[in-house]
Amino acid sequence: MYHGVTQSSGDAKKERVLHTRVPAVLERELKRFADNLRVPVSNLVRTILEDAVSVADAATENVEERLKKAAKHLEKERERIKKKMEHDPLEGILAFQEVVLAMPARCAKCDKELPRGGKANLAIGESPGHPRRFVCEECLPKAT
Ligand SMILES: [Zn+2]
Q: What are the pLDDT digits (tens) for 29-39? A: 888 888 887 88
Asked if residue 1 has pLDDT above 70, the reply is no
CA of 36 to the centre of ligand 1 (A): 18
Distance 60 CA to ligand 1 centre (A): 45
Question: How far away, in angstroms, is 144 Cα from ligand 1 center?
Answer: 18
Residue 101 Cα to ligand 1 midpoint, Å, equals 15
Rounded distance between C-alpha atoms, residue 16 and residue 79, angstroms: 28
In the chain, what are the helix, strand and coil shares in percent, each to the nearest 5? 40, 30, 35
> Which of 88, 87, 85, 90 lies closest to 124, judged by CA?
90
CA of 97 to the centre of ligand 1 (A): 15
- Whether the full predicted model's pTM is greater than 0.95, yes or no, is no
Alpha carbon of 90 to those of 34, 46, 54, 122: distances in Å?
17, 18, 25, 11
For residue range 55-112, what is the model confidence (pLDDT) as tens digits? Answer: 555 455 566 676 777 666 666 667 776 776 666 778 788 999 999 999 999 998 888 9
111 φ/ψ angles, rounded to the nearest 5 degrees: 70, 15
